[in-house]
Amino acid sequence: MAEKDCKQDEKRYKERVMAIKDAIELLGGKWKFCILFNLYDSGTMRFKDLQKNSVGITPKVLSNELQELEENLMITRTVNNTKPVTVSYKLTEHAKEVEPVINALINFGLKHRDKIQGK
Amino acid sequence: MAEKDCKQDEKRYKERVMAIKDAIELLGGKWKFCILFNLYDSGTMRFKDLQKNSVGITPKVLSNELQELEENLMITRTVNNTKPVTVSYKLTEHAKEVEPVINALINFGLKHRDKIQGK
DNA sequence: CAGTATCCAAAGGGATACTG
DNA sequence: CAGTATCCCTTTGGATACTG
């Protein structure tokens, strides 16, 4: 019985390690959290605005990231019937699950900066 | 006045984008969250155990990650007076601030897996 | 505006073998 | 046990220029 408990614990443990790995595979890299934060904060954004707000990203890289996010069903891409053409990006419902991660990340980042500067 | 508000908003906004970037610079890559989760969960761990629990990491890579985490004051490394020598790693107080991030990440990872499998 | 094309450097990360 | 040493490949991401 104790052994069974142990194995169940181990199973739960591995599940969580795998969950982390899954999440990182989806959200990893230098820019994805930043992009998702922008969308989370503003609702809908266009390519240019995302580029401006992400501070430093080039169009090629932004384009890549957006495609990956779209493939993973984290954002939707809508072409607007304007002239010239504009494109809107927004989060899917599913992507809203990352909000807690982003908030936690911001929190950590702010505290960490204080820590470093406080020295 | 409205303009001032706007600029303050923008300042707060950029601060948060920077916080995300800082956090990612520290915690980015394929393995760091996984390692920190292990330590967060177990308190103290040795090199070998970290390697085993991180499923797939090679000693070279683990060694790198641990050094980076130590430099950034996220973990401490202690050489134990045993024979043969063992080494213990544990989180610093400061690193405990990442707990919410890790939990949020796990949560997202689990939900995402459900979503994908549910199709 | 919203990208794509091309080129390229650097970093990340893995395999394998070895050491104190 | 706790790493280091080598080698090497792939991915990431940046610069720059161009297009519908």
Cβ of B78 near strand C (distance < 7 A) = no
A2 pLDDT more than 60: no
User: Pick from B78, B3, B63: which is nearest to B31 by CA?
Assistant: B63
Average pLDDT over residues A77-91: 95
Contact A95, A74 (CB under 8 A): yes
User: What b-and-e string marks burial along A4-26, b requiring 16 or more CB atoms within 10 Å of the CB?
Assistant: eeeeeeeeeeeebbbbbbbbbeb
* CA atom of B46 to C1′ atom of C7, Å: 44
Contact A92, A73 (CB under 8 A): yes
For A33, the token pair is: 């959290």
Looking at mean pLDDT, say which of A6-20, B3-17, B63-77 comes out highest.
Answer: B63-77
- What does the alpha-carbon distance between residue B50 and residue B37 come to, in Å, rounded to a whole number? 10
- What does the alpha-carbon distance between residue B18 and residue B40 come to, in Å, rounded to a whole number? 26
Residue the block writes with tokens 């950034």: B72
Residues A92-115: pLDDT tens digits?
999 999 999 999 999 999 999 988
B116 pLDDT more than 90: no
Residue B8's pLDDT band, with cuts at 50, 70 and 90, is confident
Chain A to chain B, count of Cβ pairs less than 8 Å apart? 132
Cβ of A63 near strand C (distance < 7 A) = yes
The whole-number pLDDT of residue B119 equals 55
User: Pick from B102, B39, B23, B63: which is nearest to A31 by CA?
Assistant: B23
- What does the alpha-carbon distance between residue B36 and residue B29 come to, in Å, rounded to a whole number? 12
Residues A58-70: pLDDT tens digits?
999 999 999 999 9
Residues B33-68: pLDDT tens digits?
999 999 999 999 999 999 999 999 999 999 999 999
Residues A5-52: pLDDT tens digits?
677 778 888 999 999 999 999 999 999 999 999 999 999 999 999 999
The whole-number pLDDT of residue A3 equals 62
The whole-number pLDDT of residue A20 equals 97
Find chain A residues with C-beta within 8 A of B20's C-beta. Answer: 33-34, 37, 102, 105-106, 109
User: Are the beta carbons of A112 and B104 separated by less than 8 Å?
Assistant: no
Find chain B residues with C-beta within 8 A of A24's C-beta. Answer: 30, 33-34, 105
B1 pLDDT more than 60: no
The whole-number pLDDT of residue A38 equals 97
| Other CB atoms within 10 A of residue B33 CB | 23
